[in-house]
């Protein structure tokens, strides 16, 4: 046993020497490695509806494969996503509330913004449609029917893009849901998938983007009660957070994601993403539209 230990001692000494050498360069090595890792990580704040649809599970792995970046996704409501961008907590945003996005840009909180895709909102509800929304000729009339019939409506209540659209619909119908809802209006403070589940359990109406609805419709007792009004148009945009305000952000990574998602490849993947044969989103990046015009 002693002879074996003596034989292995030189080898062990070499290991100690190597370890001491590594330790001597560790601080610089660690800092460089950390910087390299950071530069390859992109922090993306996006909406729960985008994540719930399943689209990101298709797009992001392909982007990471093509570019070598790694995307860390934070799924929240659009309002919170914009606040995270305003505070410099993320590098890039993928959201859907055009008015709020325009303000974000006007305030200097974003370097650039591009259209990515769109779908629309639909109102879903119980299969027996107690508020008779199927007879409504506009989203305004549909909102009035829900309020006048006092049918339960589940709101996201989370300052998301969907919530912002819903509030705009009540305002257009001149319905004050804060003081005149008589308990038929319920705020969940949850993401789109959870709200669809709650509305299904309560036999209630709710507003949802079509993408999330298609992803959840097979396991929901709800049905589309109203759709088709132009005011329900739902565009998505991607925004690079201001590098002037926050120079430490991974702006190069943000721009790489923006460039990829608005490229022919990214737009094609968005257009091909379907559930039960139905497309969830229509790609509409301006650069693709421009290229099409030029090619014609």
Parallel, antiparallel, or unpaired: how do β-strands 206-209 and 110-125 relate?
Answer: antiparallel
Alpha-carbon distance of 181 to 175, in angstroms, equals 9
Number of H-type helices and E-type strands within the chain: 12, 12
Residues 6+ apart with CB under 8 A from 173: 140, 141, 143, 144, 147
Is the Cα torsion angle 204, 159, 165, 215 positive or negative in sign?
negative
Residue 287: predicted pLDDT = 54
Alpha-carbon distance of 63 to 72, in angstroms, equals 12
Residue 182: predicted pLDDT = 73
User: pLDDT tens for residues 110-136?
Assistant: 999 999 999 999 999 999 999 999 999
pLDDT one digit per residue (tens) for the chain, 296 residues: 434 434 444 554 555 455 455 445 555 444 444 455 558 999 999 998 888 899 999 999 999 999 999 999 999 989 999 999 999 999 999 999 999 999 999 999 999 999 999 999 999 999 999 999 999 999 999 999 999 999 999 999 998 889 999 999 999 999 998 776 678 999 999 999 999 999 999 999 999 999 999 999 999 999 999 999 999 999 999 999 999 999 999 999 999 999 999 999 999 999 999 988 999 999 999 754 443 333 33
Residue 89 vs residues 36, 84, 85, 107, 158: alpha-carbon distances, Å: 19, 5, 6, 17, 19
Architecture of domain 120-232 in this structure: 3-Layer(aba) Sandwich (3.40)
Listed by start position, the domains of the chain span 41-119+234-295, 120-232
**Fold agreement between 41-119+234-295 and 120-232:** yes
The helix (run of H) or strand (run of E) holding residue 142 is: helix 139-149
User: pLDDT tens for residues 229-281?
Assistant: 999 999 999 999 999 999 999 999 999 999 999 999 999 999 999 988 999 99
**Exposed, middle or buried, 277 (CB in 10 Å: 0-12/13-18/19+)?**
exposed
The SS3 assignment for 161 reads helix
Is pTM beyond 0.85? Reply is no
Residue 226: predicted pLDDT = 98
DSSP 83: H
Residue 55: predicted pLDDT = 95
Please give the sequence-ordered ranges of beta strands (E in DSSP) within 36-173, or none if there are none. Answer: 41-47, 70-76, 92-95, 110-125, 153-155
Residue 14: predicted pLDDT = 53
CATH code of 41-119+234-295, in short, is 3.40.190.10
Residue 20: predicted pLDDT = 54
């Amino acid at each position: 046993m002693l002879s074996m230990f003596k034989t292995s001692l030189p080898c062990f000494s070499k290991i100690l020497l190597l370890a001491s050498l590594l330790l001597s360069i560790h601080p610089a090595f660690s800092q460089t490695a950390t910087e390299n890792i950071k530069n390859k990580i992109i922090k993306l704040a996006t909406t729960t509806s985008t994540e719930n649809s399943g689209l990101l599970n298709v797009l992001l792995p392909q982007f990471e494969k093509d570019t070598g970046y790694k995307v860390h996704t934070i799924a929240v409501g659009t309002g919170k996503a914009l606040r995270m961008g305003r505070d410099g907590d993320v590098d890039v945003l993928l959201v859907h509330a055009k008015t709020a996005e325009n303000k974000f840009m006007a305030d200097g909180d974003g370097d650039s913004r591009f259209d990515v895709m769109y779908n629309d909102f639909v109102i879903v509800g119980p299969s027996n449609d107690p508020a008779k929304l199927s007879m409504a000729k506009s989203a305004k009339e549909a909102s009035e029917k829900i309020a006048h019939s006092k049918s339960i409506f589940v709101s996201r209540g989370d300052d998301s893009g969907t919530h912002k659209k819903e509030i705009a619909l009540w305002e257009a119908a001149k319905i004050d849901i804060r003081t005149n809802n008589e308990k038929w209006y319920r705020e969940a403070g949850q993401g789109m998938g959870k709200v669809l589940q709650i509305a299904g359990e309560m036999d209630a109406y709710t507003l949802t983007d079509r993408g999330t609805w298609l992803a959840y419709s097979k396991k929901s007792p709800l049905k589309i009660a109203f759709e088709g009004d132009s005011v329900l148009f739902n565009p998505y945009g991607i925004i690079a957070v201001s590098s002037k305000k926050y120079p430490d952000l991974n702006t190069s990574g943000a721009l790489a994601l923006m460039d990829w998602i608005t490229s022919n490849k990214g737009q094609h993947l968005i257009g091909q993403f379907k559930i039960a044969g139905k497309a969830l989103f229509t790609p509409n990046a301006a650069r693709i539209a421009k290229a099409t015009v030029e090619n014609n």
